Chains A and B, each alone.
Chain A
């Protein structure tokens, strides 16, 4: 049965890589939506909303992703015996639960990073909470959230390898299958690693590109700070 690593194996690893991307995009989008809601909740004036959101975030961030994956894998069939969930959907649910918590924390931090003066200015203009959020705070918070969000997406791609334990054939699981067929784990898993590297490094380059595009962060060394008196003049 044993054969050596060949083009077909590479193809099946590539297919696994595509599934990894599909999985992460799905869970990433779902996690962004839910995470944004939780992030808004945890920075909202309502104490109950804040408590619910921060408790969720605290718990999920305090347990390993594997525990969540096994909860989804064993737990959903126990709770809903009539539902026949595919491995893909189980994986999506587990990763979404996980991503929601981390992204909620990123959104909360970004919302809090918008200067208080912005909220106050909007208040002074008579905007209510919802409008302040929608037109003033969130547009700025979203920009702040992009770099850490990209960082989390990379973590999610790597962590998605754990759903191999429930038998979903993503990149790592394809690697295991090929490795078992060829008995050449070094080459197989090296190719798997390179594929992950290409995806993750690509995403991080994309993040860098975005950051550079949104303008240089540092002031030029020769730029002198204008004195207060002149600053007033310029207004």
Chain B
């Protein structure tokens, strides 16, 4: 589904990604963990072209996104993204947030998009907020709408960029529950997260990044239970 080869990313003279090789299979849930500034988010943002790779290749669902000839918008329609700060469109009602991309980008009829939006809002448990504005929702509710919005384009892959980091602890669970459902349904997911419990329980693979490289990866039980690298051990001893 996703194949990354020797990915480098520089901001000015600051090299944030120093050669990443990674492969994500269909229906796989990959959790990216690691300390702040390790490049996890930058890596994730490269996967849908929000950041342009400095060098290396990224192939997503059969499209080489690092190829200049590739229409990045076509790839993005197949890749859903959920942000740390939700980024809901404040001027649109919840339902219109979810319908916007299908109608404007996917050229789906409004009726069809509305039905799809209703189903998705059901799925994330927010049918009753259909006509509310994002500003009136709690953080957890906003993030669930953001997930529904990303799903509305029927993406092949979902990217999550620290989806629960901006939420109060008691609200984190409702967002993770929605993500668990998605994983169970077989969605391919790449999740940057600090929720080690989620990574352990739901993830098929945990990838530990530090200093712009992948230090260690493997089944969560192995990475968490028996970390091989001292950097991994150090990190885990701090957060667990």
Q: Please say whether the chains A and B touch (CB closer than 8 A).
A: yes
Q: A residues near B, CB below 8 A?
A: 220-230, 233
Whether B11 lies near A224 (C-beta < 8 A) is: no
Residue B162 at the chain A interface, CB threshold 8 Å: yes
Which residues in A have their C-beta under 8 angstroms from that of B154? none
| Known contacts A220-B11, A222-B42, A224-B40; is-contact A230 B35 (Cβ 8 Å) | yes
Docked complex Cα distance between A227 and B166 (Å): 9
Within 8 A of A (CB), among B79-110: 84
Judge whether B136 is part of the interface by a CB distance below 8 angstroms.
no
Q: Report the nearest B residue to A231, measured CB to CB.
A: B36
Chain A's interface: helix, strand, loop or mixed, by majority?
A: loop
Size range of the chain B interface in the assembly:
20 to 34
Known: A229-B194, A233-B238. A223 touches B162 (CB 8 A): no
State whether A222 touches B16 (Cβ < 8 A). Answer: yes
B14 x A222 contact (CB < 8 A) = yes
**Measured between alpha carbons, how far is A229 from B239 in the docked complex, in Å?**
7
Query: Is the CB–CB distance between A222 and B194 below 8 Å?
Result: no
B contact residues around A225 at 8 Å (CB):
36, 84, 162, 165-166
**B134 at the A/B interface (Cβ < 8 Å)?**
no
Judge whether B238 and A230 touch: CB under 8 Å. Answer: yes
Question: With A and B bound together, what is the CA distance between A130 and B42 in angstroms?
Answer: 48
Interface residues of B in 43-80 (CB under 8 A from A): 51
Contact present for A226 and B36 (CB under 8 Å): yes
A224 and B36 contacting across the interface, CB-CB below 8 Å: yes
* A225 vs B39: C-alpha distance when bound (angstroms): 12
Determine if A224 and B37 form an interchain contact, defined as CB atoms under 8 angstroms apart: yes
B130 lies within 8 A of chain A by Cβ:
no
Extra A-B contacts (18), CB below 8 Å, given A221-B11, A224-B38, A225-B166: A220-B14, A222-B14, A222-B16, A222-B37, A222-B39, A222-B41, A222-B42, A223-B37, A225-B84, A225-B162, A225-B165, A226-B36, A227-B36, A228-B194, A229-B239, A230-B238, A230-B239, A233-B238
A70: min CB distance to chain B, Å: 45
Instruction: Note all chain A residues with C-beta closer than 8 A to B40.
Output: 224
What's the least CB distance linking A230 to chain B, in Å? 7
